[in-house]
Structure 1
């Protein structure tokens, strides 16, 4: 395949592989590494020069099956073969934990070289979870929007009828009942308005500094919860600005941080409640099956009791709340606003540590 060589056909050119989300290594016919891509470097935490000329078979916990498959591809018994393996991580790698991978072995350059592509099984599972979450969010939003519109019209009629009825009642003691109808109709109207808010509100795009957003959230949280709570900053100030809706992002982060502060009620009384706002740059990130060179990695972490296990998989669904009196809309709106920025929001929780992760592509 001439694609893999430059115009002079004297030296291989593999720059395109650096744009792939999966780990890619180019091997010679003996299995020695000639090139690895950026995703390979990032996953192993090693520069590519540390892997050059080493044997790929030494990277795996049990290389026997890979060796058999590799030899079959080199011998042209198959042009491509697949297997599952356990990447043992070369010495000096960032982590010593073996990594389960799906390996794809393919001939290139007329059989002179072999392409080894490794897909993290956890990465594949994560992408599948993201796809399911996005589909579920789209379905849920459409359902809620349709339901809200259906509720909205009768509510106006109920409230108006109650007002007319109140005007006709001579016995003022009966006004108590019409007022109950009016107040409950207003409460439901406010709920419907919140459900419809993301669809009504225009997307106000401008340059956004994420740390200005976080400082605004921090000041609002500390103003409401001034005692017993510390909101720590852990910022990477080198992060660039990006195009987005500043108010939407403030609301998304505020909804999460506010939930955390409320969940920290006991720790606030004890004086050791903590919320951490952390920003980092993430490189070669896949969001919604699209690869981005650079992304914002925003963490909102608290030391509260954790999300109840029975709702952990449903916390972004509308009307699901782990708190008495909660509307169950805060995290739904946060997810919607983050997705409007082509981002992803996830939650990991256990007693003593709840972590919300937001990733948004950066320029």
Structure 2
């Protein structure tokens, strides 16, 4: 069917373009070579660039989501409209968001093309993800109760050995290292007790997420490979959280160590891990609407999460590394969920982002 945006019988020239520019849904028109022919104002806002900058650019460069280019190819070949739910896009500044995409093929005087409508993921997708996360979190708790005894025993031995070593050290300056071992052993024991004992409520207090992240960075720096750097991109305007400091330290320590190990094992040079904080507004988690949240992103330039692991990455004992335990992400998800938050991720080769969302106390409705 021949279609023109500007030459309809019932509308004056330019009217259809005016209509498209006033839609809230982002619209991209892609030609057969997968170059952007047109985008409306909502798409300009979404992509943080003007139509003049983006027209004529390859779709894959503007929206680096391999699945989208493949869908355009399939839509052109089949000449059938396609709907895909919950596609993850990396937007300006590295922000990751999920969208539903409708792809509709059409013909015009200059050839064939595809119209792509991009809309924020609806509540049905959110509900399905929340149900999966809740089921995973319950499995995590059951697994952690079974492992708690095995973890606490070596922690006691580790603490005792550090105390004995401290007595034998001739240089008092070296006791700083034994104090770190003893302090971390005590912190982990207390953390495990609170995790596996339902009657022990989190020890919530006013906590700066940046202070937590700096503590995590100091712990990871102690054995950071020389070819990997940890960079910070903090929003200094963020308010404090009402949270359990030790649980947050453990959750983010697991996320950061996971990122460092992924980069190190892939021998990415230079390796880079970024800790980024931003504010998020109006997000629903487990059926509860939050007006204001803190988002903490842990970004790495490693090879990415293998496709076959993505649906079960937060389940206990699931790991893609020969030396991994499969508990780090599982524990992190469980700890963040205790603060009414959740962890999501988006992964492409060279850009993997794990995002923890933490509601600010009182900011829900």
Query: Structure 2 length as normaliser, TM-score?
Result: 0.54
Does residue 224 in structure 1 map to residue 188 in structure 2? no
User: Partners in 2 of 1:245 and 1:208 — Cα distance?
Assistant: 8
User: Partners in 2 of 1:311 and 1:195 — Cα distance?
Assistant: 27
Helix, strand or coil for the counterpart of 2:231? Answer: strand
Q: Deviations over 1:300-348 (max 9, x none)?
A: 0000111122212111101111111211111111001100010010111
Helix, strand or coil for the counterpart of 1:140? Answer: helix
Equivalent position to 2:23, from 56, 59, 77: 59
CA apart distance, 1:60: 7.2
Whose radius of gyration is greater, 1 or 2?
1
User: Partners in 2 of 1:354 and 1:101 — Cα distance?
Assistant: 22
CA apart distance, 1:238: 0.3
Is 2:141–2:196's contact at 8 Å kept on the other side of the alignment? no
Q: Which segment is superposed worse, 224-233 or 292-301?
A: 224-233
| 2:295 alignment counterpart | 297
CA apart distance, 1:122: 1.6
Helix, strand or coil for the counterpart of 2:134? Answer: helix
Number of equivalent positions: 228
Helix, strand or coil for the counterpart of 1:336? Answer: helix
Equivalent position to 1:94, from 18, 23, 45: 45
Distance 1:141 1:56, change over 3 A: same
Unaligned runs of 5+ in 1: 1-53, 62-87, 103-119, 157-192
Does residue 199 in structure 1 map to residue 196 in structure 2? yes
Is 1:304–1:354's contact at 8 Å kept on the other side of the alignment? yes
Unaligned runs of 5+ in 2: 1-17, 26-38, 48-62, 64-98, 103-118, 154-189
| 1:334 alignment counterpart | 332
| 1:355 alignment counterpart | 353
User: Partners in 2 of 1:278 and 1:56 — Cα distance?
Assistant: 35
CA apart distance, 1:142: 5.3
Equivalent residue runs for 1:108-257 within 5 Å: 122-141=121-140, 143-144=142-143, 198-200=195-197, 202-257=201-256
Distance 1:346 1:137, change over 3 A: same
Helix, strand or coil for the counterpart of 2:283? Answer: strand
User: Partners in 1 of 2:42 and 2:352 — Cα distance?
Assistant: 33
Distance 1:338 1:349, change over 3 A: same
Does residue 287 in structure 1 map to residue 285 in structure 2? yes
Distance 1:94 1:203, change over 3 A: same
Helix, strand or coil for the counterpart of 1:359? Answer: strand
Is 1:145–1:196's contact at 8 Å kept on the other side of the alignment? no
User: Partners in 1 of 2:129 and 2:341 — Cα distance?
Assistant: 11
Distance 1:300 1:100, change over 3 A: closer
Distance 1:353 1:95, change over 3 A: closer
Is 1:195–1:329's contact at 8 Å kept on the other side of the alignment? no
User: Partners in 2 of 1:255 and 1:330 — Cα distance?
Assistant: 5
Q: Which segment is superposed worse, 197-206 or 237-246?
A: 197-206
Q: Deviations over 1:9-40 (max 9, x none)?
A: xxxxxxxxxxxxxxxxxxxxxxxxxxxxxxxx
CA apart distance, 1:101: 9.5
